[in-house]
Amino acid sequence: MGLEFLDIFEKWANEYDASVSGKDEQYREVFRNYNEILEYVADRSIGHVIEFGTGTGNLTKKLLEKELTVVGIEPSVPMRQLAHQKLGADVLVTPGDFLQFDTSLFPAESLVSTYAFHHLTDKEKEEAVINYGKLLQTGGKIVFADTMFETADSFADTIVQAKQKGYTQLAEDLEREYYTTIPVLKQIFESNGFHITFTQFNHFVWVLEATKQ
């Protein structure tokens, strides 16, 4: 369920923290303001937090520093190992993904994620949002940072520009995974009972903040 890209993370796990620090030129803009993005998501989280796609635990660490209680859900074994090394073995980072996870981890007031929701197709994104709408109480929040585009045309232009710059890996990534547009996400969340806002942090990444009505 949305796990077709897991191989990438098995290979990338050990280099991941270097990539987010801007080591890789192709991805430098994608990760520009990475710390500010994580900080912004953590600042908007309330109560008990469930984090999807924990990766190496960088957002989890910020959430814990804000004295929130957090459970991570991460499908990749090496990513979970790295998160545990960073956070300590007593921080709970469990197997699972956006669609299949242990519902006994609820109740939660916030569901958060950074750089991961694009692993789901738009249909799967809607399936996930319907499920989260059932699990959250009124006032419960979803705060997801991810690459998204204002229009299909700006998405297509970004791929053309990546190819022109010789960023073949970035272009392949944009064409392979399920990046979507803000109007599509707005429709998914609003038709399932959420009020939603979007805030941009670099050419690629926006944070969506959705509150259950």
Residue 43 has a CB neighbour count (10 Å cut-off) of: 10
* Rg (alpha carbons) of the chain, rounded to whole number: 16
Query: Measuring CA to CA, which residue among 32, 89, 90, 83 is closest to residue 62?
Result: 83
Query: Measuring CA to CA, which residue among 138, 61, 74 is closest to residue 105?
Result: 74
Instruction: Name the residue with tokens 């004295």.
Output: 67
**Comparison of 51 and 109: residue with beta carbon closer to ligand SAM:** 51
**Comparison of 95 and 107: residue with beta carbon closer to ligand SAM:** 95
**Residue 18 host element (H or E):** helix 16-20
**Residue 73 host element (H or E):** strand 69-73
Compute the distance between CA of residue 114 and CA of residue 61 in angstroms, rounded to an integer. 13
* By the rule CB under 6 A, 158 interacts with ligand SAM: no
- Interface mask toward ligand SAM for 13-32; x: CB under 6 A: -------x------------
* By the rule CB under 6 A, 3 interacts with ligand SAM: yes
* By the rule CB under 6 A, 91 interacts with ligand SAM: no
Instruction: Name the residue with tokens 């709408």.
Output: 133
Binding site per annotation, positions for S-adenosyl-L-methionine: 53, 74, 97
Rule CB under 6 A: choose which of 63, 71, 116, 129 binds ligand SAM.
Answer: 116
* By the rule CB under 6 A, 72 interacts with ligand SAM: no
Rule CB under 6 A: choose which of 59, 93, 142, 210 binds ligand SAM.
Answer: 59
Binding site per annotation, positions: 53, 74, 97
> 51 has which bridge partners?
72, 112
Least spacing, CB of residue 213 vs ligand SAM, in Å: 25
Q: Which residues bind ligand SAM (CB under 6 A)?
A: 2-3, 5-6, 9, 20, 52-55, 58-59, 74-76, 79, 97-98, 114-116, 119
